[in-house]
Amino acid sequence: MTGEGSMFHGSVGEVAQAQAANKQEEAILELFRSLGEAGKREIQSAAEEKKRLMDVEQRLKDLTEALADTKRPA
């Protein structure tokens, strides 16, 4: 047993995706850290609002699907 193989290592595509995501996150963090406190607060507020809207949209989708299910004939 060498500890190698697909069980222990992601595919090349997955590794490349993870590395790209890490580089993107690092770049965003670098930009964020370069901002003053007011800029950081604005970014945080915008991100929180975006997350809230995504959550509301997902809940609306779930409720719409649930409502459609109740209207289907048995």
Average pLDDT by stretches of 10, the chain with 74 residues: 58 85 94 97 98 98 95 77
Domain count, the chain: 1
Q: Per the structure block, which two tokens stand in for 57?
A: 């949209």
Q: What is the pLDDT of residue 12?
A: 80
31 within some domain = yes
Query: Cα–Cα distance between 72 and 74 in angstroms, integer?
Result: 6
- Residue 9 — φ and ψ, nearest 5°? -125, 135
7 within some domain = no
Model pTM score? 0.64
Q: Which domain, by its residues, includes 54?
A: 12-71
Query: Cα–Cα distance between 23 and 4 in angstroms, integer?
Result: 25
1 within some domain = no
